Amino acid sequence: MTGTAKKVVVFDYGFGNVRSAERALARVGADVEITRDYDKAMNADGLLVPGVGAFAACMNGLKQARGDWIVGRRLSGGRPVMGICVGMQILFERGIEHGVETEGLDEWPGTVGPLEADVVPHMGWNTVEAPEDSRLFAGLDADARFYFVHSYAVHDWTLEVTNPTIAAPRVTWSTHGKPFVAAVENSALWATQFHPEKSGDAGAQLLTNWIGTL
């Protein structure tokens, strides 16, 4: 790695494809480390929070590793954080699985609930509808496809920004049965419901775009 490579920590709290994320980030030129070390996670140029499995289990694991506190402290200082799959879902206010409600990190209002579709889980490649001014999807064609594996999602975006000096979040949608939130760009906090680390060249371009903002 060169001296100019951005340092990215893949937060290892027991839930997520950390090795796949590490390889994908290294592919696009990041200096990557998998760790739950507090100082390293706080001081990295970027923090990536993966997630697989149940919302409640991920939140429990994140709290045990003090990841909830790390994410909050980084964001309060404008330090970039990116969530993937359930790592995105836990950024919302709450998740409901099998009738059990679990508090999330509450960075955004909204509820993660079951997909409203005939076929669940949503597994495989799908397109997205990104805003024209998206930085996350810059350089990607409108028909670019990304890899999804999930049974839950956010179907309604409710955050309203009334202060004209604050940029409104850029929200990207996809559809499986009913439209759901596929990605969010909100100041230092970005997230995707799909797996960019499993999405080939399109995913590599997306990660390149994120690295370029660090």
Confidence of residue 3 (pLDDT cuts 50, 70, 90): low
Q: Considering the domain boundaries, does residue 159 fall inside one? A: yes
Q: Considering the domain boundaries, does residue 115 fall inside one? A: yes
- 67 lies in which domain range? 7-212
CATH number where 174 lies: 3.40.50.880
As given in the structure block, the two tokens for residue 208 are 């390149």
Q: What is the pLDDT of residue 160?
A: 82
Q: Considering the domain boundaries, does residue 1 fall inside one? A: no
Q: Considering the domain boundaries, does residue 2 fall inside one? A: no
Tens digit of pLDDT for each residue in 93-137?
A: 999 998 899 999 999 999 999 999 999 999 999 999 999 999 999
Number of domains in the chain: 1
Q: Considering the domain boundaries, does residue 44 fall inside one? A: yes
Tens digit of pLDDT for each residue in 53-93?
A: 999 999 999 999 999 999 999 999 999 999 999 999 999 99
- For tokens 């045990």, the residue is 64
Residues involved in catalysis: 85, 195, 197
Q: Considering the domain boundaries, does residue 185 fall inside one? A: yes
Confidence of residue 2 (pLDDT cuts 50, 70, 90): very low
Give buried/exposed letters for 71-109 (b at 16+ CB in 10 A, else e): beebbeeebbbbbbbbbbbbbbbbbebeeeebebbebbe
As given in the structure block, the two tokens for residue 56 are 């409640």
SS3 207: helix
Q: Considering the domain boundaries, does residue 53 fall inside one? A: yes
Q: What is the pLDDT of residue 161?
A: 80
Q: Considering the domain boundaries, does residue 113 fall inside one? A: yes
Give one word for 163, left, alpha or beta, with left for phi > 0 and alpha for psi -120 to 50. Answer: beta
